[in-house]
Amino acid sequence: MKLTKKSHACVRLEKDGRTLVLDPGGFSEQDAALGAEAILVTHEHPDHFDEKRLRTALEADPAVELWTLRSVAEKISAAFPGRVHTVGHGDTFTAAGFDVQVHGELHAVIHPDIPRITNVGYLVDGGRVFHPGDALTVPGPAVETLMLPVMAPWSKISEVIDYVREVKPQRAYDIHDAMLTDLARPIYDHQIGALGGAEHLRLAPGESTAL
């Protein structure tokens, strides 16, 4: 499997000539979803869900399908009948040849005064990759590669470190990093790497690795 990091929370997975893209939001490249056979979206916040990017990808190829939760599906499904699938915690499906399990129900708490929205994470190919969206969901099955939301308005570094410890992946790659400056990255790299208990790695947007 080839993993390509796109900007912020977007990830591109390729296997056997097929491509799956997760969370091509407004902080990601304009063409982040183009060329994908299947797209997964974790929740409705604009840095994860960008309607224009999704419409562009779905219009460019009539075979492209989208899996997401109800709040996103309601915004786009009418324009693409039969191609937008609503999923929730506990569901399983196959997208672009990848086996996917859905884990989680709610977005992490940003502030007690802000109502929580729904959020789902996607466990791909039996634990090869887990993308939690905006939550610190522990999926249960063993995780090889954790896409780690490293910097967000709803988290602090101690929570990020404890999340890595709880999931116990073989490795963790940073996502949700658009707000993390290059000046601060070495601090996060050192602390998460030293205390998380797993190999901590980072890819620049556009960089790829083989899993």
Going from the C-alpha of 167 to that of each of 36, 141, 144, the distances in angstroms are 28, 9, 10
Cβ atoms 119, 133 nearer than 8 A: yes
Digit-coded pLDDT (tens) for 140-178 = 999 999 999 999 999 999 999 999 999 999 999 999 999
Sign of CA dihedral 58, 49, 126, 14: positive
Amino acid letter at 142? A
Whether the pTM exceeds 0.95: the reply is yes
State residue 10's pLDDT score: 98
Digit-coded pLDDT (tens) for 40-97 = 999 999 999 999 999 999 999 999 999 999 999 999 999 999 999 999 999 999 999 9
Kindly state the tokens that stand for 30: 């304009």
Domains and CATH numbers, the chain: 2-210 (3.60.15.10)
Tokens 């992490």 sit on residue: 108
Burial class (CB in 10 A: 0-12, 13-18, 19+), 81: exposed
